[in-house]
Chain A
Amino acid sequence: MWLAIAVGCVGCFALKLVGYSLPRRVIEQPVVKHVAELLPVALLTALIATQTFTTGHHLQLDARAAGLVAAAIAVRFKAPFLVVVAVACVVTALVRVVAS
């Protein structure tokens, strides 16, 4: 775990430093920029999908899905970050209570 933390930290810092050290035109290629804009979208959606709809190696639909729907509604109404997270937790917990 510590090794992975070190690798992640060094990698993230190196990326920040590289922007100050490399000439602009090297890093500001249109293709590089375009990929960099799409990367967070793809990674975050994949994280959302796998953490909401899977358990281990199985697809699973459970209370977490209700929490995600609630979070999406909160985002739609421009709720602050903490409210979005809290709404998801409360709805998930409530659905579990009702279901059991």
Chain B
Amino acid sequence: MSDAEPDAELDAELGLEPIWPATRNGVLRDAAGVGLATGAYGLSFGAISSSAGLSVLQTCVLSLVMFTGGSQFAMVGVIGGGGAAMTGAATAIMLGVRNAFYAVRMSSILDTSGWRRPGAAQLTIDESTAMAVARTTVRSSRLAFWATGGSVYVFWNLATLIGALSAHALSNPRVLGLDAAAPAAFLALMSPRLRSREPWVVALTAAAVALISVPFVPNGVPVLFAAGVAVIAGVRPSPATSPDGHGKGAR
């Protein structure tokens, strides 16, 4: 986190950094707040993963190593719905595509030489990217990225463990309506993206394709068919160009 020093002087010379201590405290406070908030998602991820049949260890490994919420929810969602684990992994990877675009954006802000690159890559998620690009100076952007990424990492993993342990203690998750938790989580994750007509059309078509194919193909595969809908719609020439920052906030 202290690797931002050299550019800090540059920012100061350019007069972009009025009061660093105040800015720094603000960034750190925001990072802690975002970390706590995603901890709440972590609780439900732990619980959903456990009731999908993954062990506490498997659940925690997903949060520690995969560390990208949407993909983790999708993976355990497919498995919980009776799909093959590998189909779940494929769905998770497709949902992780957006992180590559966050990484492109962050690579112009961060100094990611040597050992820092894998570290930065691991922490490149919705929250850290959103907090970093919202800052106006290089120094505060870098601090926001590392502080938010680190804070989310800690809270997300702690919450996953607590969620997994508490759901494990329940005998029948259906009694508590826990089988409705995953779709509700997906709905909350997706809703910020439905801001124009095109995503609505894609969403409804994807849902229809998935439901129609359910009786005929193995579990989990209908979701992969739905990915085909996105690819066809995306490749098709479209007059609408998306506004910047369209793909944010969907952990």
B29 proximal to A (CB < 8 A) = no
- Contacts of B215-251 to chain A: CB distance below 8 A: 215-216, 219, 222-223, 225-227, 229-231, 233-235, 238, 241-242, 246-247, 250
Which interface residue of A4, A31, A67, A84 has the most chain B CB atoms within 10 A? A4
**B235-A31 in contact (CB<8A):** yes
A-B contact count (CB 8 A): 319
With an 8 Å Cβ cutoff, the count of chain A residues facing the other chain is 72
Q: How far is the CA of A45 from the CA of B202 in the complex (A)?
A: 9
**A80-B40 in contact (CB<8A):** yes
Given contacts A1-B85, A45-B190, contact A67 B97 (CB under 8 A): no
* Residues in chain B near residue A9, CB distance under 8 A: 61-62, 65-66
Q: How far is the CA of A33 from the CA of B161 in the complex (A)?
A: 34
* Residues in chain A near residue B215, CB distance under 8 A: 57-59
Interface string of A6-48 (1 = CB under 8 A from B): 0111011101111111101001101101111111111111111
The 8 closest A-B pairs by CB, nearest first: A19-B103, A35-B234, A46-B226, A92-B177, A88-B184, A67-B180, A4-B85, A93-B177
Known pairs A47-B81, A51-B182, A88-B183 / 17 extra A-B pairs, C-beta < 8 Å:
A8-B88, A8-B93, A9-B61, A13-B66, A16-B103, A19-B102, A19-B106, A27-B101, A31-B235, A33-B242, A35-B234, A41-B203, A64-B180, A64-B183, A67-B180, A85-B44, A91-B180
